[in-house]
């Protein structure tokens, strides 16, 4: 028997994805108008009510498919509308949504316009089949995720519009996996970004002057880099660990200096730190304060971001939604690997309000978010619609 190659390029959902990928929604000068118009038209075509929240500059669109028992906590499928800019030379124009060898190319094919269309297509398919779920399903389309979500999800969860959704369980973006199984992320590392300011006495570059800003910044960099080595080694030594399980530390900016023959008053070192879920935040901060003291007088911390600790969502029998979701995926013969998300997503704002898992149905494809030639196999995209259909029927009917 020969394997029949299915041509997915004429699939209505694929054409819908192509149309969505061609609507630019790109930072830094992002404009959401065309995207909102596109998504609004989708809801109208499906006969579903919609609601607009937050401001036109940072809009949130909610599309609702009411359940048979709307008083039950609802299901939320979240996706962000914005994408990162395009860099490098692309094989196919990044906003043309061209298809080659079964792959669709374009900015947002993985992160995460494909999921937005899958959410819509799954609901569309269920409605077309005459299905009704017990629970109400909300699709949220949020702005600003690629900038950190401070003007998007962070604000949205504070609104009455969000509270009134009464979300019982939510799904937000995950990551593609090159292997056979799906990755599901129960939590994410905590982002701390900080500038360590090292001040001292300015002086001539030909002396050994005391109170030296260079000595202080060296001490700080050494301490951070020693700890970085330790965490990196843990990842090397223990094959069961992934990048989501260990704290990462990176020196991302070094600033200071005026002239070659002047010892400057100030050097600053900026670090991007992603704390593993096992790290005690108080002890970690105390340690950095201690390093600053050791470095000498006039060494201070300025936090650029300091996210709070959010406990991971439970992935055990106490979470009936997870049990239902897991069953629906495994019934398709697909296995699941549980991880901690190595980066941050909007889920960190949602997670203190409801259980949320980071999951996008992308397997047999390497993760390519933010990359040149970002692409997704059409087969993976179409399979994902069926996966969402099955998940919705499972979690939407949880007792
Ligand atoms: Zn994303």
What is the distance in A from the centroid of ligand 1 to the CA of 350?
15
Q: Which CATH class is domain 190-306?
A: alpha beta
What is the distance in A from the centroid of ligand 1 to the CA of 367?
12
What is the distance in A from the centroid of ligand 1 to the CA of 345?
7
Distance separating alpha carbons of residues 399 and 396, to the nearest angstrom = 9
Query: Does the active-site annotation cover 87?
Result: no
What is the distance in A from the centroid of ligand 1 to the CA of 346?
9
User: Which of 144, 145, 374, 383 is an active site residue?
Assistant: 145
Which residues belong to CATH 3.30.70.360 in the chain? 190-306
Query: Does the active-site annotation cover 145?
Result: yes
Identify the CATH assignment for 8-188+342-395 out of 3.40.50.11540, 3.40.630.10, 3.90.1150.10, 3.50.50.60: 3.40.630.10
Q: pLDDT value at position 56?
A: 86
Q: pLDDT value at position 2?
A: 45
What is the distance in A from the centroid of ligand 1 to the CA of 9?
24
Do the Cβ atoms of 245 and 215 come closer than 8 Å? no
Q: pLDDT value at position 3?
A: 52
Strand 248-256: give its sheet, edge to edge.
248-256, 266-275, 190-199, 299-306
What is the distance in A from the centroid of ligand 1 to the CA of 257?
37
pLDDT in tens, 354-365: 999 999 999 999
pLDDT in tens, the chain (399 residues): 445 678 898 999 999 999 999 999 999 999 999 999 999 999 999 999 999 998 889 999 999 999 999 999 999 999 999 999 998 999 999 999 999 999 999 999 999 999 999 999 999 999 999 999 999 999 999 999 999 999 999 999 999 999 999 999 999 999 999 999 999 999 999 999 999 999 999 999 999 999 999 999 999 999 999 999 999 999 999 999 999 999 999 999 999 999 999 999 999 999 999 999 999 999 999 999 999 999 999 999 999 999 999 999 999 999 999 999 999 999 999 999 999 998 899 999 999 999 999 999 999 999 999 999 999 999 999 999 999 999 999 999 998
């Amino acid at each position: 028997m020969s394997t029949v190659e299915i041509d997915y390029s004429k699939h209505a959902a694929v054409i819908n994805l192509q149309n969505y990928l061609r609507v630019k929604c790109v930072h830094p000068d992002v404009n959401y108008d065309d995207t909102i118009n596109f998504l609004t038209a989708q809801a109208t075509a499906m006969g579903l009510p919609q609601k607009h929240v937050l401001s036109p500059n940072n809009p949130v669109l909610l599309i609702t498919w009411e359940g048979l028992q709307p008083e039950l906590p609802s299901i939320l499928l979240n996706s962000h509308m914005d994408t990162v800019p395009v860099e490098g030379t692309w094989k196919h124009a990044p906003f043309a949504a061209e298809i080659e060898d079964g792959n669709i190319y374009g900015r947002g094919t993985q992160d995460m316009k494909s999921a937005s269309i899958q959410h819509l297509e799954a609901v569309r398919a269920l409605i077309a089949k005459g299905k009704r779920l017990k629970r109400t399903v909300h699709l949220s389309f949020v702005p600003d995720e690629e900038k950190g979500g401070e003007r998007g999800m962070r604000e949205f969860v504070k609104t009455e519009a969000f509270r009134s959704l009464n979300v019982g369980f939510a799904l937000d973006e995950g990551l593609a996996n090159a292997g056979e199984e799906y990755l599901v992320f129960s939590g994410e590392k905590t982002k701390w970004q900080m500038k360590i300011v090292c001040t001292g006495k300015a002086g001539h570059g030909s002396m050994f002057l005391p109170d030296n800003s260079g000595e202080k910044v060296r001490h700080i960099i050494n301490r951070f880099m020693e700890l970085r080595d330790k965490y990196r080694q843990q990842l090397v030594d223990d094959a069961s660990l992934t990048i989501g399980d260990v704290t990462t530390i990176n020196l991302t900016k070094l600033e200071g200096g005026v002239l070659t023959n002047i010892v400057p008053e100030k050097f600053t070192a900026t670090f991007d730190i992603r704390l593993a879920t096992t790290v005690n935040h108080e002890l970690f901060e105390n340690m950095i304060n201690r390093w600053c003291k050791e470095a000498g007088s006039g060494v201070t911390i300025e936090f650029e971001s300091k996210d709070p600790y959010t406990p991971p969502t439970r992935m055990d029998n106490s979470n009936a939604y997870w049990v239902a979701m897991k069953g629906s995926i495994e019934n398709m013969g697909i296995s699941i690997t549980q991880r901690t998300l190595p980066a941050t997503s909007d889920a960190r704002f949602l997670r203190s309000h409801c259980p949320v898992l980071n999951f996008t149905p992308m397997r047999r494809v390497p993760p390519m978010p933010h990359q040149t030639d970002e692409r997704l196999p059409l087969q993976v995209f179409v399979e994902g619609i069926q996966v969402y259909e099955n998940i919705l029927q499972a979690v939407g009917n949880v007792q």
